[in-house]
């Protein structure tokens, strides 16, 4: 048998900003959750971005 301990870590990040905050980076972790400043939000990335934009933030590369 052949085992691998390393899985593919594909983290992608975008920058978001709003009138109330300075620019910040939101990353989509390999598990599908969003993280901000390295902190896992325990929230699905797409839901998190949608909520940010609904609150008035602009997110994009």
- One DSSP character per residue, 21-36 reads EEEEEEEE-TTSEEEE
60 with 14: CB under 8 angstroms?
Answer: yes
CB neighbourhood size of 23 (10 A): 9
pLDDT in tens, 3-27: 444 444 678 999 999 988 889 999 9
CA distance 41 to 45: 9
Question: What pLDDT is stored for residue 4 in this prediction?
Answer: 42
Q: pTM score, two decimals?
A: 0.78
């Amino acid at each position: 048998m052949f085992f691998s301990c390393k899985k593919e870590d594909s983290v992608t990040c975008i920058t978001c900003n709003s009138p109330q905050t300075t620019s910040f980076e939101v990353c989509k972790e390999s598990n599908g959750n969003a993280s901000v400043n390295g902190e896992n939000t325990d929230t699905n990335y797409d839901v998190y971005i949608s909520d940010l934009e609904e609150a008035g933030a602009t997110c994009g590369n």
